[in-house]
Amino acid sequence: KVTDINIDTLIDNEFITWNLTEDEKDAKFKDNLGILPTIKQRADEKKTEEQEKAAAEKAEKDREALEEKKKKEQNVSKEKVTRGTMSLTVSGETFNWSYTGKAVHGYKLVWSNTNPNPHFTTDKSIYFSGINQLTGTLPGPEKTGRGTFYISVCAYTAGTETEPCVDYSQVQSFTRP
């Protein structure tokens, strides 16, 4: 009787695996497999351990990636607008602007059909989230009506400063007949 066999060395042996599989199929060998069932049990345990380890490693990587994403989002959300000068031009019903600063949270196109000096908190606005999104239009006349509109654009601060929008452009007007 052999008792000093290192089972872990036999787990990956193809012949042992084949032999066990074949012997389990035959009723006359099934109950006389000796150490083979122990090898199979240890192989199954090892496979389960490897799967659990891989799952734990994946979960850790996912957690780290999520943490990194949250960290980046927090840094972006806390980042302030780099101040500059905003300019606005009107071409038909299209508004184009340029900014010498950096509007990390995007822009607000502010408009009014009654206030000649529109402001973000008191008048209507449209949000443009892209830092490089430098053109926009108002909604159609079915939503805004017709007449003269006063338009300005500002750098949105997303709560990182006391003012919700800074560096307003000069006011432009256009008439929608």
How much is the mean pLDDT over the chain?
86
Say what percent of the chain tops pLDDT 90.
Answer: 51
**Position 1 pLDDT exceeds 60:** no
**Position 155 pLDDT exceeds 90:** yes
Among the four given CATH numbers 2.60.40.10, 3.30.56.10, 3.30.460.20, 2.170.150.70, the one describing domain 86-176 = 2.60.40.10
Region 161-167 average pLDDT = 95
* Amino acid 87: pLDDT: 98
| Model pTM score | 0.57
What sign has the CA pseudo-torsion 102, 107, 109, 110? negative
Burial class (CB in 10 A: 0-12, 13-18, 19+), 126: middle
Cα–Cα dist 167/62, whole Å? 40
Domain residue ranges of the chain, discontinuous segments joined by +: 7-78, 86-176
* Bigger pLDDT: 39 vs 117: 117
Long-range contacts of 173-176 (CB under 8 A, 24+ apart): 173/90, 173/116, 173/148, 173/149, 174/90, 174/92, 174/93, 174/148, 174/149, 175/147, 175/148, 175/149, 176/93, 176/141, 176/144, 176/145, 176/146, 176/147, 176/149
Locate the DSSP E strands across the chain.
Answer: 86-91, 94-99, 107-112, 124-128, 135-137, 147-156, 165-166, 172-176
Contact indicator for 134, 101 with CB cutoff of 8 Å: no
Structure tokens at 19: 């032999």
* Bigger pLDDT: 72 vs 130: 130
* Amino acid 15: pLDDT: 78
Tens digit of pLDDT for each residue in 5-21? 767 777 777 777 787 77
